[in-house]
Structure 1
Amino acid sequence: MSKPRSLSLAAYRVLSWGVRNGTDKPYIPRPEGELIWIHIASQDRQRVVEGFCQRLRQSRPNLSVLLTAPPQADLIRWDASSHPLVNLPSEQTGAAREFLDHWRPDLGLWVGGGLMPNVITRAEERGLPLILIEAEIDIHVARGARWLPDITRYTFDCFQTILATSPETVRHIRRLGVPASKVDTAPPLHVSPNPSPWPEDELIEMTHALSSRPVWLATWVQDKEFISVLSAHRQAMRMLPRLALILHVADMSETEPLHRRLLSMDLRCVNWDDGGTIEDTTQVILTSDPENLGLWYRLSPVAFMSSSLERGSGGRDPLTATALGSAVIHGPFVHRHQQLYDQLNRAGAARLVRTATELGDAVVELLAPDEAARMALAGWEIVSEGAPQTDHLIEIVQDSLDQRGQDHAST
């Protein structure tokens, strides 16, 4: 049940009255069934939230997810994202109402600061359960309304659960007058990938095909990186003559031309996507199917995350490789996932290279069993440390959705 409206809120809505700007894009259709709306206040938390959504939907397969970003934020699509991502409308009363009328969410989860009173208070008045995590004392009010005395307290009080990452923030929120029972400390979400399992018989077959040979993987290789990757492979083969490279091409149309090019370079290769057979003398296994990356990561103790050695692509998400036991190598141009790579590098789970020569040296060094195992363990600690907090938040979300379903069934 919603709380009585305060005079400050009524004044705020008058001061911020307006409707959606006519230049804004129309919303896509709402999916059928249960829907959770998750707002991501800071772009660098988007990958973390995507990982949480994957885990949540494994627990609740029929749940749809809507992700929102602040009104003026640039939207970045992650490699494996399947959830709609839209900007919240500007902080106007009519725009907030239109957003909620269209999406009709069953639960709202706000990550971080930048609280917007109109959309939050409108959602609470509709009986929408609201959860705030990684809370900050940061509220974006409409111009001309900053003098209103209790709009900050009223906005925070709309959430049924508030989790902050520091005791100082918890104390500050409680001093606003928000009930202490609502507010608690909790660590921030960490990325916690949960890759799909791979058929055991196929994994055994491929392990047998490569027998005891050293193997490395280069993923999402762009055409301008081909020479560097192949040069690194030739260099590494001088130290490891039986070395096999699994070469995953970013652009499917490049696969066949690259196959001919490899043959002209006297490199013994097979096109896996065309049904090629891996033999004991095969030096390069060529593929472009991203669906098979789960297999290749499991087979390769070392993975070079391409689309990173030359400017332009911005790198690829490394965490599935890390979760499946690969030591990660990457180039310098990974700005799309910079925070993740920085975290892996600090932990000793990834290695930065800038040239083909450095790449070849890194492949040889990291294929030493003790070094690959050390990096794999460091990476596993990174991807597993956030699991308890993720599981706890999933429980909170599930309980709130179940309670809302029961309330609707009884009315």
Structure 2
Amino acid sequence: MNDIIAIDQRSKDDYVKATLRQVPLAQRILLGVYLTITRLLPTSLILYLVRRASKKNPEESLDRANERVAMNLHDRPAGKLYWMNSIGPGDSTANQALLAKLLVEDPTAILLVTTRTVSAQGIFSRWKDNPRVIRQLAPHDGLYITRRFLDHWKPSVAIFCERDLWPNMLTELRQRRIPTAVVNGQLDGRLMRDFGKLQKLGRWFLAHIDYIHYVTEASAKIADDIMNPNAEKFYGKNLKLDCEPLPAKDQLFTQLKTVWENFQIFTAASVATSEVNIILDAFLQAHIQDPKLRMVLVPRWKEQSEDFLAAAKEFGLTTPRRSIEGMPKREDPIFIADSYGELGTWYEASYAAFIGNTFYQGAGHNAYEAILKGIPIVAGGIGWLFKDDFEDLVSAGVGMITPDKVKLRDAILQLTSEPLRHEVEAYLSNQGTTDKVTQALIGLARNAI
């Protein structure tokens, strides 16, 4: 049986009040205005705005607008319920590992999974037929919406992955004595960056948290300085490291390795159109020095393939595409993989991977997908949305930053003879954080029993 993580509610309430008193007057007024507006806004108006937004914003859904205002929700099954919330596909990926572990370790519990964006719902599609997993869009932070949401679901614990903390929800969770956790927190990164210049107000937000798992050592001191002294704090690797590796399609893998037999394959994944020229230039320079090199060029979106094809033509190449030719020929140095659901195959066939949208101060993408396939990563820079992830991988010796085409060319060549397989294997030995976080969350949930 898991030990209960005791919560001193009186101490927590006192700490929340104390942090609010430390917030500058202008910021307290700003918070008060927000709370007043979100109390006065009628649900009908919010529902209208959501439906209107869904016509232009792909991250809203007309058919699911009711979920944003906590109306006409799925029936709540009996029993303990864990509420897990994330924003988009990136942080939802981390919640995947946690969801899978909670289903096993607490076999009677119900898991409610909410996401701020529609696209993130697809991350949890593998559980769509599991009666213990309920998926819905996250509610907006109106006071009465929040109350309806919590009245209906009655969670035993609320789990926020990385961020997406809102005043009404945090206040209602505290008043209802529902334990609240943050996992994959980055106190030296995007979590505190959300508060911008309102750092004192950020302390008030974090005063509501009973448990935090943070992924950087630098976060430890910050947590000690700004969080409730009675909150449980835990440092461990990113939960994404415990996710299942992307699947590879055996037949496709065999086809590629047969066509490019005895070649060294480098994959450039989730590439932005703005950086495709520098990647092509660097690779072709490397190819001149080592004709045994081949590259799978993976656009972030299928619609980019025409731009990629045009860019390749500027370098004198006729480049096959997955959507048209199907597979490359032996003599083709580059193959445009404009398909979805096959990245795991390209990674498995490769000796290293470039993580796209990292040149020109790009946001980056999930680098752990490549690491979990056992290969090192290369990036044009530290993706600002995944800053802590990239910095950790570089410091562990399984990632390389190449800020220009010359350094990218050199990395492509260097990794053919120094593939860093042992370093990646050593890094993967850090897996297991999800097990410890799961036990803590089960202990938190026992407060509600």
TM (normalized to structure 1)? 0.66
Are positions 1:388 and 2:442 aligned together? no
Q: Judge conservation of contact 1:36–1:63 (CA < 8 Å) in 2.
A: yes
* Local SS of the residue matching 1:282: coil
Deviation at 1:77, TM superposition (A): 8.6
Structure 1 position 316 matched with structure 2 position 360? no
The alpha-carbon deviation at position 131 of structure 1 amounts to 5.8
Gaps of 5+ in 2: 1-6, 18-31, 48-67, 105-109, 125-134, 188-206
Contact 1:96 1:122 in 2 (8 A): no
C-alpha distance in 2 between matches for 1:223 and 1:267: 17
Which secondary structure state, in structure 1, belongs to the residue aligned with residue 262 of structure 2? coil
Q: Which protein is bigger by CA-based radius of gyration?
A: 1
Indicate if the aligned counterparts of 1:198 and 1:295 stay in contact, CA closer than 8 A: yes
TM alignment of 1:12-411, pairs within 5 A = 20-22=39-41, 25=46, 27-29=68-70, 30-31=73-74, 36-38=82-84, 50-59=92-101, 60=103, 63-66=111-114, 86=138, 89=141, 97-101=147-151, 103-109=153-159, 118-124=171-177, 186-188=234-236, 190-191=238-239, 192=241, 193-256=243-306, 258-259=308-309, 262=312, 265-311=315-361, 313-332=362-381, 334-368=383-417, 371-372=418-419, 374=420, 376-385=421-430, 387-395=431-439, 397=441
Q: Deviations over 1:90-137 (max 9, x none)?
A: 8x7x6763452355435323679999774234433xxx5666778x9x
Distance 1:363 1:79 in 2: 35
| CA RMSD in angstroms, aligned pairs only | 4.9
SS at match of 1:324: coil
- Distance change >3 Å, CA 256–CA 185, structure 1 → 2: closer
Q: Supply the distance in 2 between the matched residues of 1:258 and 1:96 (Cα, whole angstroms).
A: 45
Q: Secondary structure at the match of 2:400?
A: strand
Q: How many residue pairs align between the two structures?
A: 355
Partner of 1:144: none
Question: Any conservation in 2 of the 1:246–1:285 contact (CA below 8 Å)?
Answer: yes
**Secondary structure in 2 aligned to 1:280?**
coil
> Conserved in 2, the CA contact under 8 Å of 1:217 and 1:300?
yes
1:15-43 per-residue CA deviation (whole Å, 9 max, x = no partner) reads: x9976252895525545556632468xx9
Give how far 1:48 is off.
8.8
Structure 1's 253 and 396: CA in aligned 2 closer, same or farther, altered over 3 A? same
Say if 1:108 and 1:223 are closer, same or farther in 2 by CA, change over 3 A. closer
Amino acid at match of 2:332: T
Residues 341 and 281 (structure 1 numbering): CA distance in 2 closer, same or farther, change over 3 Å?
same
Residue 54 of structure 1 and its aligned partner are, at CA, apart by: 0.4
* Long gaps (5+) in structure 1: 69-74, 137-153
Task: Give yes or no for contact 2:246–2:369 (8 Å, CA) kept in 1.
Answer: no
Relative contact order (alpha carbons < 8 A, sep ≥ 6): 1 or 2 greater?
Answer: 2
AA in 1 matched with 2:376: A
What is the TM-score with the length of structure 2 in the denominator?
0.61
Name the % identity: 16
Question: Is the CA contact (8 Å cut-off) linking 2:115 and 2:121 kept in structure 1?
Answer: no
Q: Is 1:268–1:281's contact at 8 Å kept on the other side of the alignment?
A: no
**Whole-Å Cα distance in 2 between the matches of residues 353 and 79 of structure 1?**
33
Q: 2:83 is matched by which residue type in structure 1? A: W
Q: Cα deviations across residues 40-91 of structure 1 (Å, max 9, x unaligned)?
A: 8xx9xx99963442013334397331368xxxxxx9998985676758748x
Cα deviations across residues 281-317 of structure 1 (Å, max 9, x unaligned)? 1211112223111111111111111212224x42222
Shift of 1:219: 1.4
Question: For 1:203, what is the secondary structure of its paired residue?
Answer: helix
- The 1-side partners of 2:160 and 2:313 are apart by 54
